[in-house]
Amino acid sequence: MIDQDLVRYIEEQTRPQRDSDLWKKLHLGRITSSIFGDVIQAGENPTSLLQQILYGSNLDKYSKLPLAVQWGIDHEMEAKEDYLQIRRAIQMETEVQACGLTLCSTHSFLGATSDGRVVDNESTGLLEIKCPFSISGQNITSLGISDIMSMNSKQFCLELTELGPTLKKSHKYYAQVQGEMAIIGLPWVDFVVWTAAESDNIFIERIYFSEQYVKHMLPKLVEFYMRQIYPLL
Protein backbone atom coordinates (compact mmCIF):
# COMPACT_ATOMS: atom_id res chain seq x y z
CA MET A 1 0.00 0.00 0.00
CA ILE A 2 1.08 3.58 -0.56
CA ASP A 3 -0.01 6.77 1.16
CA GLN A 4 -2.72 8.86 -0.51
CA ASP A 5 -0.57 11.98 -0.17
CA LEU A 6 2.13 10.26 -2.24
CA VAL A 7 -0.48 9.15 -4.79
CA ARG A 8 -1.62 12.77 -5.18
CA TYR A 9 1.95 14.09 -5.36
CA ILE A 10 2.92 11.64 -8.12
CA GLU A 11 -0.20 12.45 -10.11
CA GLU A 12 0.52 16.18 -9.93
CA GLN A 13 4.20 15.79 -10.87
CA THR A 14 3.48 13.56 -13.90
CA ARG A 15 0.81 15.64 -15.63
CA PRO A 16 3.10 16.35 -18.63
CA GLN A 17 2.77 12.56 -19.26
CA ARG A 18 5.11 11.46 -22.08
CA ASP A 19 7.16 14.65 -21.60
CA SER A 20 7.79 13.74 -17.95
CA ASP A 21 10.82 11.59 -17.07
CA LEU A 22 9.14 10.59 -13.81
CA TRP A 23 6.01 9.45 -15.70
CA LYS A 24 8.20 7.21 -17.90
CA LYS A 25 10.23 5.81 -14.98
CA LEU A 26 7.16 4.96 -12.93
CA HIS A 27 5.72 2.96 -15.83
CA LEU A 28 8.65 0.53 -15.69
CA GLY A 29 7.74 -2.63 -13.79
CA ARG A 30 4.09 -1.57 -13.49
CA ILE A 31 0.91 -2.64 -15.24
CA THR A 32 -0.83 0.52 -16.39
CA SER A 33 -4.37 0.89 -17.67
CA SER A 34 -3.44 1.16 -21.35
CA ILE A 35 -2.30 -2.49 -21.28
CA PHE A 36 -4.87 -3.95 -18.87
CA GLY A 37 -6.66 -5.49 -21.86
CA ASP A 38 -3.42 -7.02 -23.15
CA VAL A 39 -2.66 -8.51 -19.73
CA ILE A 40 -6.05 -10.14 -19.14
CA GLN A 41 -5.92 -11.66 -22.63
CA ALA A 42 -2.25 -12.70 -22.45
CA GLY A 43 -1.27 -16.26 -23.29
CA GLU A 44 1.19 -18.52 -21.52
CA ASN A 45 4.29 -16.91 -23.05
CA PRO A 46 3.76 -13.12 -23.07
CA THR A 47 7.38 -12.24 -23.89
CA SER A 48 6.79 -8.97 -25.75
CA LEU A 49 4.31 -7.77 -23.12
CA LEU A 50 6.80 -8.48 -20.34
CA GLN A 51 9.50 -6.61 -22.25
CA GLN A 52 7.21 -3.61 -22.54
CA ILE A 53 6.33 -3.62 -18.83
CA LEU A 54 9.87 -4.17 -17.56
CA TYR A 55 11.89 -2.08 -20.00
CA GLY A 56 9.45 0.31 -21.63
CA SER A 57 7.66 0.42 -24.95
CA ASN A 58 9.66 -0.31 -28.08
CA LEU A 59 8.38 3.07 -29.27
CA ASP A 60 10.72 4.73 -26.75
CA LYS A 61 13.65 3.43 -28.81
CA TYR A 62 12.57 5.12 -32.04
CA SER A 63 14.30 8.38 -32.98
CA LYS A 64 11.22 8.96 -35.12
CA LEU A 65 7.88 7.45 -34.12
CA PRO A 66 5.91 5.30 -36.57
CA LEU A 67 3.50 7.34 -38.67
CA ALA A 68 0.35 5.92 -37.07
CA VAL A 69 1.58 6.67 -33.54
CA GLN A 70 2.78 10.16 -34.41
CA TRP A 71 -0.51 10.92 -36.17
CA GLY A 72 -2.46 10.06 -33.03
CA ILE A 73 -0.23 12.24 -30.86
CA ASP A 74 -0.36 15.16 -33.29
CA HIS A 75 -4.16 15.16 -33.48
CA GLU A 76 -5.06 14.54 -29.83
CA MET A 77 -5.38 18.25 -29.05
CA GLU A 78 -7.56 18.84 -32.11
CA ALA A 79 -9.80 15.97 -31.03
CA LYS A 80 -9.99 17.43 -27.52
CA GLU A 81 -11.02 20.82 -28.91
CA ASP A 82 -13.77 19.24 -31.03
CA TYR A 83 -14.96 17.30 -27.97
CA LEU A 84 -15.10 20.48 -25.89
CA GLN A 85 -16.97 22.33 -28.61
CA ILE A 86 -19.67 19.65 -28.65
CA ARG A 87 -19.87 19.41 -24.85
CA ARG A 88 -20.14 23.17 -24.44
CA ALA A 89 -22.92 23.30 -27.02
CA ILE A 90 -25.08 21.13 -24.75
CA GLN A 91 -23.64 22.14 -21.38
CA MET A 92 -22.44 25.66 -20.66
CA GLU A 93 -19.41 24.96 -18.49
CA THR A 94 -17.04 22.13 -19.41
CA GLU A 95 -13.32 22.03 -18.69
CA VAL A 96 -10.68 19.38 -19.38
CA GLN A 97 -7.87 19.35 -16.84
CA ALA A 98 -4.49 17.62 -17.18
CA CYS A 99 -4.06 14.16 -15.66
CA GLY A 100 -0.87 12.52 -14.46
CA LEU A 101 -0.17 8.94 -13.46
CA THR A 102 -2.33 7.73 -10.57
CA LEU A 103 -1.01 4.70 -8.71
CA CYS A 104 -3.41 2.26 -7.06
CA SER A 105 -3.07 2.80 -3.31
CA THR A 106 -3.69 -0.88 -2.46
CA HIS A 107 -1.75 -2.39 -5.39
CA SER A 108 1.00 0.11 -6.20
CA PHE A 109 2.16 -1.97 -9.18
CA LEU A 110 -1.04 -0.87 -10.97
CA GLY A 111 -1.49 2.62 -12.39
CA ALA A 112 -3.68 4.66 -14.71
CA THR A 113 -3.40 7.79 -16.83
CA SER A 114 -6.30 9.43 -18.64
CA ASP A 115 -6.25 12.01 -21.45
CA GLY A 116 -7.95 14.45 -19.11
CA ARG A 117 -10.23 15.08 -16.17
CA VAL A 118 -13.59 16.44 -17.37
CA VAL A 119 -15.31 18.92 -15.06
CA ASP A 120 -18.75 20.23 -15.96
CA ASN A 121 -21.54 21.84 -13.97
CA GLU A 122 -23.02 18.46 -13.00
CA SER A 123 -20.19 16.01 -12.32
CA THR A 124 -16.54 15.08 -12.86
CA GLY A 125 -15.24 12.25 -15.00
CA LEU A 126 -12.41 11.33 -17.35
CA LEU A 127 -11.57 11.64 -21.04
CA GLU A 128 -10.01 8.98 -23.26
CA ILE A 129 -9.26 9.90 -26.88
CA LYS A 130 -8.39 7.59 -29.76
CA CYS A 131 -7.30 8.96 -33.16
CA PRO A 132 -6.82 5.80 -35.25
CA PHE A 133 -4.70 6.48 -38.32
CA SER A 134 -6.24 3.50 -40.14
CA ILE A 135 -9.62 5.29 -40.40
CA SER A 136 -8.31 8.85 -40.56
CA GLY A 137 -10.63 9.92 -43.39
CA GLN A 138 -13.76 8.00 -42.39
CA ASN A 139 -17.04 9.44 -41.16
CA ILE A 140 -17.98 8.30 -37.66
CA THR A 141 -21.67 7.67 -38.28
CA SER A 142 -23.58 4.40 -38.08
CA LEU A 143 -23.12 3.97 -41.83
CA GLY A 144 -19.44 4.91 -41.67
CA ILE A 145 -18.83 2.55 -38.76
CA SER A 146 -20.61 -0.22 -40.66
CA ASP A 147 -18.21 0.31 -43.57
CA ILE A 148 -15.20 0.26 -41.23
CA MET A 149 -16.39 -2.92 -39.55
CA SER A 150 -16.88 -4.66 -42.89
CA MET A 151 -13.21 -4.01 -43.65
CA ASN A 152 -11.70 -4.75 -40.24
CA SER A 153 -14.43 -5.84 -37.85
CA LYS A 154 -12.33 -7.82 -35.36
CA GLN A 155 -9.83 -5.10 -34.51
CA PHE A 156 -12.10 -2.04 -34.61
CA CYS A 157 -13.13 -0.91 -31.13
CA LEU A 158 -16.77 -0.04 -31.89
CA GLU A 159 -19.75 -2.22 -32.73
CA LEU A 160 -23.26 -1.45 -33.90
CA THR A 161 -26.22 -2.29 -31.66
CA GLU A 162 -29.93 -1.50 -31.78
CA LEU A 163 -29.16 1.67 -29.81
CA GLY A 164 -26.34 2.71 -32.15
CA PRO A 165 -22.53 2.47 -32.02
CA THR A 166 -20.89 1.49 -28.73
CA LEU A 167 -17.46 0.50 -27.43
CA LYS A 168 -17.04 -3.28 -27.49
CA LYS A 169 -16.83 -4.72 -23.98
CA SER A 170 -14.43 -7.33 -25.34
CA HIS A 171 -12.01 -4.70 -26.67
CA LYS A 172 -8.84 -3.70 -24.81
CA TYR A 173 -10.03 -0.09 -24.70
CA TYR A 174 -12.96 -1.13 -22.49
CA ALA A 175 -10.54 -2.68 -19.99
CA GLN A 176 -8.48 0.52 -20.20
CA VAL A 177 -11.31 2.91 -19.36
CA GLN A 178 -12.67 0.67 -16.59
CA GLY A 179 -9.18 0.55 -15.11
CA GLU A 180 -8.89 4.33 -15.26
CA MET A 181 -12.15 4.77 -13.38
CA ALA A 182 -11.27 2.15 -10.78
CA ILE A 183 -7.83 3.58 -9.96
CA ILE A 184 -8.51 7.30 -10.36
CA GLY A 185 -11.84 6.97 -8.59
CA LEU A 186 -14.28 8.71 -10.93
CA PRO A 187 -17.64 7.36 -12.15
CA TRP A 188 -17.45 7.81 -15.93
CA VAL A 189 -15.20 8.21 -18.95
CA ASP A 190 -16.11 10.04 -22.12
CA PHE A 191 -14.64 7.73 -24.75
CA VAL A 192 -13.83 9.57 -27.98
CA VAL A 193 -12.94 8.25 -31.43
CA TRP A 194 -11.81 11.06 -33.75
CA THR A 195 -10.93 11.10 -37.43
CA ALA A 196 -9.81 13.82 -39.84
CA ALA A 197 -12.98 13.62 -41.94
CA GLU A 198 -14.44 16.99 -42.96
CA SER A 199 -17.73 16.18 -41.20
CA ASP A 200 -19.08 13.60 -38.74
CA ASN A 201 -15.52 13.12 -37.53
CA ILE A 202 -16.10 12.39 -33.85
CA PHE A 203 -17.78 9.68 -31.77
CA ILE A 204 -18.42 10.25 -28.07
CA GLU A 205 -19.77 7.66 -25.64
CA ARG A 206 -20.02 8.04 -21.89
CA ILE A 207 -18.86 4.78 -20.31
CA TYR A 208 -19.85 4.24 -16.67
CA PHE A 209 -17.90 2.38 -14.02
CA SER A 210 -18.71 -1.32 -13.78
CA GLU A 211 -17.86 -2.75 -10.39
CA GLN A 212 -18.64 -6.25 -11.66
CA TYR A 213 -16.21 -5.92 -14.58
CA VAL A 214 -13.40 -4.59 -12.36
CA LYS A 215 -13.94 -7.34 -9.78
CA HIS A 216 -13.46 -9.84 -12.59
CA MET A 217 -10.41 -8.04 -14.05
CA LEU A 218 -8.44 -7.15 -10.90
CA PRO A 219 -7.51 -10.70 -9.79
CA LYS A 220 -6.16 -11.41 -13.29
CA LEU A 221 -3.96 -8.31 -13.16
CA VAL A 222 -2.65 -9.21 -9.69
CA GLU A 223 -1.99 -12.82 -10.69
CA PHE A 224 -0.11 -11.75 -13.82
CA TYR A 225 2.07 -9.38 -11.84
CA MET A 226 2.88 -11.89 -9.09
CA ARG A 227 3.50 -14.78 -11.48
CA GLN A 228 5.17 -13.06 -14.44
CA ILE A 229 6.67 -9.74 -13.33
CA TYR A 230 7.55 -9.86 -9.61
CA PRO A 231 10.03 -12.77 -9.97
CA LEU A 232 11.94 -10.75 -12.60
CA LEU A 233 12.36 -7.58 -10.52
58 vs 82: which has the higher pLDDT: 82
Using one digit for the tens of pLDDT, what is the confidence trace for 130-149?
998 888 878 777 666 666 66
Three-state SS at 30: coil
Query: What pLDDT, on a 0 to 100 scale, did the predictor assign at position 176?
Result: 99
Question: Which residue, among 32, 175, 56, 18, has the nearest Cα to 112 in the 3D structure?
Answer: 32
Query: What pLDDT, on a 0 to 100 scale, did the predictor assign at position 197?
Result: 82
Using one digit for the tens of pLDDT, what is the confidence trace for 34-80?
999 999 999 878 999 999 999 987 655 555 677 878 888 888 999 99
CATH of 4-232, one of 3.40.930.10, 3.40.50.1820, 3.40.50.880, 3.90.320.10: 3.90.320.10
